[in-house]
Structure 1
Amino acid sequence: MVDGVVKRKRYAVVVTTYGEVDKLTIRNLWPSSRRILLVVTRQIVKVPTALIYFIADYRSTKHYINWKLNRYRSKLIAINRAQTKTLEAALDRYGSGFLAKADVRVFDAYYFVPPYLDDMLSELRRDYDGIVVVPMIPVESAFSCGVACQMVMDVCGEGSFALVKVMSRLWSDDALHRIYIDYLFAQLSQKIRSLKGGGKIGLVLVIHGTLVRDRHGNTPKVFTGLEETIAFFEVMKQKIMADPRNIFTDVRQGCINHSNGGEWTAETIEKALEDYREDGYEGVVMFPYGFFADNSETEYDAKKQLDKAGFPVAQYVRCINDDPDFGRWLGEKVLAELQWLDNLQHAMETPGECIEPKLKKFSYIE
């Protein structure tokens, strides 16, 4: 408060994800590959510093040749920026109550390409009263949303809970399940629908796999999100199969795994497609529910496996991306987090007031 005037608080919202190079050059790929090794790979495999440069060179060259030959260009950055704009519009439209007492700005940032999340956090913490980080991956682990948490601790310190809030457990939200299922059934092609009653149709729900055992056969020391990954699949499968619009004979998990570090999840895309082929399925639909935005792992690697599988009818359903219903839902979640952070700060600033903030309830925006 200055001269009896209450100072308006300023909050930043940062929409973040891995990030992939927008312009395909080896010069752009190399620093991205190096950061992946430094931030993610070294959590599960000890990589000597000198070897990181060699591996980064190899991976960059491999991706460049592969993507160039297949004329692939990642849309992840463009999608994340569109999601950022959609979220910004949702906050402006539905957040009038909160915006009446605080200013909110929305930014995009990335783990592995500029603007880097850790650099942005360093800048924003000087100018804003609070920051909400929105990792655009529904299931958190040390290899996904956990990267954001680690960067928050590195930049702001372990006592930053009153300054920065990292959103989590998005996968468990019933409203998200409903949006996903409505979106999936709305996207089904006429060719797939025409198989109903005349052939078995399978659904592959694609998600990033995770480490089950390390190279010594032990439970990994890092948080892998394995239980959350399994629970997310089980709840989605149950709700899809129980939906009156359902045309699928079965729903199977399709994990995208890495090759290093130990034993990864066994329910891979390859296994799901092979099982459907052996069981005589006529049609297969693939939906990457474990990603909020299409990227090289979904629309390139996973889709290529579906195309090569040779089913009579196959359809790749794109990630939820900047779907309007998803944008409204995300706006609701972010508003709740902003309110939580504001209540917590108010409680800490008010003598004698309970430090447990009272959360404001937001209903789903219809």
Structure 2
Amino acid sequence: MSHAVLLLAHGTPNALGEMAEYLSKVTGGRALPNEVVEELKHRYAQIGLGDAPGTEPPPLTKWTLAQGHALEQALGDTRVYIAMRNWSPYIADVVAQMRADGVTKIRAICLAPQNSRTSVGLYRRALMAAANEIEVEFVAGWAENPRLVEAFAEKLQPVWSAASAELGTNAPVLFTAHSVPCRTIMTGEASIAGARPGTPMQDTPDPYPVEAKRTAALVAERLSAEGLTGSDWYFAFQSQGVSGGPWIGPTVEDTLKALRAAGHTGVVMQPVGFVCDHVEVLYDIDIAFKELADALGLKLWRADSLNDSPTLTRALAEIARREQQAETGQLTAAKVG
């Protein structure tokens, strides 16, 4: 075997007892206050994580493995590997296994569709550090992939239609993506988040906020035939960090309050920065934002996550086969060695 596909994901702990170690991976070794660790343990416990690993992996791991299996079946003749940046199976370990399996060329797809220095850039750096003489083709972003947009629209349409029917008017749609620290998107203001000392400063803006909103706009456009208009949808960044400096907004909390102040009595949320269920969906939206919406007098609906969406699988298969390389120009190649 010479060629293989590698799906890259964030990673998540398998048990509450692993939380402190996991968070140290996320922060690059920076210790977090104990109250932050305990708060995150509480959130993970609310979505089913136990003190010890359970019989089933946590949602992010479960769905990422399922997405990799579905992609391998769709490709037919290409092995698909899964690696995580912040937990096992770690990128370095998986690349070592790929090398042992005879892989000489990797097509890497980060399961964060919108390109960001705080996510995609760090995945790429970890992969290149481990690749040695393996050739790597790295997909730097697929925010506008038509199949990805179609997959989100398929999940949103039935929920939005049902919510609108219940409200008797077009329900507002609030698209979201994970927030990032302000310093990571400012031109020339900071080095790449998590980079080692001495990493060159960035002289161009981070594309992440623009790409996240572009995904949302394309999904909304897909529902225009159903009656969704440009004035019916909004965008906010969710899950701002619980420690550190300012993070980009607007926040979901402020946006929900503004929607209620404008007279709305319901809202449909769809996170377009995530391709599967995990704590930012199952806790932040389904529990925390739902509680806030209830307190404000808003009924909150959420579109299902993509998870095992066949349309998502087709999107990943197209990218893996490079069918859209010429059209999107989003694939970059690098030979390491």
Q: Normalising TM by the smaller chain, what interval?
A: 0.7 to 0.9
Distance in 2 between residues matched to 1:65 and 1:232, nearest whole Å: 28
Residue of structure 1 in register with 2:95 after alignment:
121
Whether the 8 Å contact between 1:15 and 1:108 is mirrored in structure 2 is: yes
Amino acid at match of 1:207: A
- The reply on whether 1:25 has 2:16 as its aligned counterpart is yes
Task: Note the C-alpha offset of 1:274.
Answer: 1.0
Residues 114, 235 of structure 1: CA spacing in aligned structure 2 closer, same or farther, 3 A cutoff? Answer: closer
Counterparts of 2:22 and 2:33, CA distance in 1: 8
Q: What's the CA shift string for 1:306-361, capped at 9, x where partnerless?
A: 31112453211122111011111211111118999xxx99xx9xxxxxxxxxxxxx
Aligned to 1:330: 316
Matched, 1:246 2:227: yes
CA distance in 2, matches of 1:71, 1:175: 29
Partner secondary structure for residue 171 of structure 1? coil
Q: Is the 8 A contact 2:152 2:219 kept in 1?
A: no
Unaligned runs of 5+ in 1: 1-8, 93-98, 349-366
Q: Which residue of 1 aligns with 2:39?
A: 62
| 71-80 vs 240-249, which moves further | 240-249
Match of 1:72 among 45, 48, 51: 48
Structure 2 vs 1, CA of residues 261 and 140 (structure 1 numbering), >3 Å: closer, same or farther? Answer: farther
Matched, 1:293 2:276: yes
Structure-2 residue corresponding to 1:84: 68
Map Cα deviations across residues 87-137 of structure 1 (whole Å, 9 max, x no partner).
Answer: 111111xxxxxx4xxxx2111121122111122123323521111222111
Q: 1:181 aligns with which of 150, 153, 163?
A: 153
307, 317, 320: which is aligned to 2:290? 307
Give percent identity, aligned residues only.
20
3-state SS of 2:246 partner: strand
AA at the equivalent of 2:258 = D
* Larger RCO of the pair (alpha carbons < 8 Å, separation 6+): 2
Output the aligned Cα RMSD: 3.2
Question: Does the aligned pair in 1 maintain the 2:181–2:245 contact within 8 Å?
Answer: yes
Alignment of 1:127-276 (within 5 A): 127-156=102-131, 163-188=135-160, 190=162, 192-195=163-166, 198-199=168-169, 201-213=171-183, 219-222=189-192, 226-234=206-214, 236-237=216-217, 240=220, 243-247=224-228, 249-256=231-238, 257-276=240-259
1:167 corresponds to which letter in structure 2? V
CA drift of 1:146 comes to: 1.6
CA distance in 2, matches of 1:290, 1:225: 19
Distance apart, 1:225 and its partner CA: 6.9
Q: Is 1:165–1:337's contact at 8 Å kept on the other side of the alignment?
A: no
Structure 1 position 262, deviation (Å) = 3.2
Partner Cα separation in structure 2 for residue 339 and residue 244 of structure 1: 29
Q: Is the 8 A contact 2:152 2:306 kept in 1?
A: yes
Seen in structure 2, the aligned counterparts of structure 1 residues 179 and 61 have a Cα distance that, compared at 3 Å, is closer
Q: Secondary structure at the match of 1:185?
A: helix
**Cα distance change on mapping 1:281 and 1:88 into 2, 3 Å:** same
Distance 1:221 1:143 in 2: 10
Q: Is the 8 A contact 1:210 1:264 kept in 2?
A: yes
> Aligned letter for 1:252?
Y
Name 1:13's counterpart in structure 2.
Answer: 5
Q: In 1, Cα distance between the equivalents of 2:324 and 2:95?
A: 16
Following the alignment from structure 2 to structure 1, what is the Cα–Cα distance between the partners of residues 150 and 42?
Answer: 40
Question: Quick check: 1:108 aligned with 2:95?
Answer: no
- State how far apart, in whole Å, the 1-side matches of 2:266 and 2:256 are: 11
Cα 1:15/1:187, change in 2 over 3 Å: farther
Q: Judge conservation of contact 1:199–1:281 (CA < 8 Å) in 2.
A: no
Distance 1:238 1:166 in 2: 24
1:37 deviates by: 1.7
The answer to whether the 8 Å contact 1:132/1:337 transfers is: no
Secondary structure of the structure 1 residue equivalent to 2:27: helix
Q: How many residues align?
A: 303
Is contact 1:204–1:254 with CA below 8 Å preserved after alignment?
yes
Residue of structure 1 in register with 2:53 after alignment: none
Displacement of 1:171 in angstroms is 0.2
Unaligned runs of 5+ in 2: 50-57, 193-201, 327-331
Give the drift of 1:218.
Answer: 7.0
The secondary structure found in structure 2 opposite 1:114 is coil
Larger radius of gyration: 1
Distance in 2, matches of 1:217 and 1:289, equals 25
Contact 1:199 1:282 (8 Å CA) reproduced: no
Structure 1: distance between partners of 2:148 and 2:47: 33
Task: Provide TM-score, normalisation by structure 1.
Answer: 0.73
